Amino acid sequence: MTPFGRRMRDLRAARGVTLTEMAGAIGVTPTYLSALETGRRGRPTWALVQRIIAYFNIIWDEAEDLQRLAELSHPRIVVDTAGLTPEATELANLLAREIALLPPEAVAELLGRLKILRRRG
């Protein structure tokens, strides 16, 4: 599941909306919407995110957060380390190889650390 998919599922659950109801209202199939929630489909388009924002009638910070999550929710990414340090290449390769084996707590810890480092600089 992607961060966007989890948030969308949480929004549906909080409002008591089924996958089929939401899919019909925003003009996609339930199969596509399910695949988007579970991460079997790539990042949603900007237009689809806007329809979802309108469907749930969310505004301001929450809408911006949903758009940000959509941008960070591509389930298959490529990391280009050309021109970076050997350590950066090693990090990218280790993460790609090991991420599926890491416990959720370790993933959360690494993500938190990266966010802290990004804010610093």
From first to last of its 121 residues, the chain has per-residue pLDDT tens of 888 999 999 999 999 999 999 999 999 999 999 999 998 888 899 999 999 999 999 999 999 999 999 988 887 888 999 999 999 999 999 999 999 999 999 999 999 999 999 888 7
Query: Is residue 76 in some structural domain?
Result: no
- Check which CATH number belongs to the domain holding 48 and give it: 1.10.260.40
Task: Kindly state the tokens that stand for 8.
Answer: 């969308």
Report d(CA 102, CA 96) in Å as an integer: 11
- Residues 72, 3: contact at Cβ < 8 Å? yes
Q: How many Cβ atoms sit within 10 Å of the Cβ of residue 66?
A: 22
Based on the fold, state whether residues 7 and 65 are members of the same structural domain: yes
